[in-house]
Structure 1
């Protein structure tokens, strides 16, 4: 006895869904990284911490986390500055390195989810 199965794939819809999942994943991953970096950002009056934002460029499928104060880069790069306990320079670089696997998992999970929907 022969069994036949027919599979129909709507490639355009699959690509749209995958892209939407990637955008959603990038947004969640960037927000995760922002939250992690806020745990170690130097804090005096919390101005630097409040200036942090996570953004996603949907057209290029890229995400960014940034801090926008005149001294953000200096605070990030100057290793000799003293900071309160738990706060440090490299407040964005360190979490980005430490959370790389988690960020990838967040994005992958959203892409997988979009393929099931």
Structure 2
């Protein structure tokens, strides 16, 4: 009977330790998920074209989050390591009107940006 009483008390006293260990494991798992989500980035690609002729515009400057990118000889661009969310995209090219667009990027996205001549 004495052994049964000691065993029962030991089991009840160990419950808080078991629960605390389980909470630590859950916290570590949620921290790992939050870290993975924080690292997620997306890619924005697309092309810059003339609004009237639909010709590709090479050398257009594309600004996103203070970073500067350029369209290639075919008017294409590829922006990587962009955080998901809303972004202001500004595109400039000599003798063309500046284009500013706000986009909400959640996944990889392809854009077509048409510039009008001044």
TM interval, shorter chain, is: 0.3 to 0.5
Specify which structure has the higher proportion of strand.
Answer: 2
Question: What is the TM-score of this pair, normalised by structure 1?
Answer: 0.34
The structure with the larger Rg is 2
